[in-house]
Amino acid sequence: MTGTCRFCRDGIDPKKTRIMRKSKYSYVALAYPRLVKGHLLVIPKRHVERISELNNEELIDIMALTRKYCEKVLSFSKGYTVRNNYMPFLTETERKVNHMHIQIIPRGDSDKIYAKSITLENTLFERPSKEEIEDVIKRLK
Ligand SMILES: [Zn+2]
């Protein structure tokens, strides 16, 4: 798959984004497009699609950068969300790249994500049934 994704093919477009820091196996860049001000991507240099494909050195490297930049975003935000999506069922777009990356999203109680999600929260969150809980536990043991 190397060379087929936007990150590998084009790298991070310097006209659209800014690389904040490079380490041995990964780098941190401003997301483009972004959800909120300061939305960051922590990206392994080697093309992998799932976090489980990282070797131990790469995993330690990317998590160390994630930890460092989680603290840095607190200089201008009240909190953050850290996430990694693996959704190979979606077609690649400007917002969807099949190159594993961790998103650090600065958060606050007045950001647009909070404002939009709070209106949907009651319809998105459900109490799982006893059967669902037992099924998921059985599958994940
Ligand atoms: Zn790639």
What DSSP string describes 36-61?
STT-EEEEESS--SSGGGS-HHHHHH
CA distance 13 to 9: 10
pLDDT digits (tens, 9 = 90+) for 17-33: 688 888 999 999 999 88
For the chain, list the domains and their CATH numbers.
6-140 (3.30.428.10)
The Å distance, Cα 107 to ligand 1 centre, comes to: 27
133 token code pair: 């809980």
Q: How far is the CA of 46 from the centre of ligand 1 (A)?
A: 7
Q: In 3D, which of 40, 36, 41 has the Cα closest to residue 5? A: 41
The predicted-structure confidence for 12-68, as pLDDT tens digits, reads as follows 666 666 888 889 999 999 998 899 999 999 999 999 999 999 999 999 999 999 999
Residue 74 CA to ligand 1 center (angstroms) comes to 29
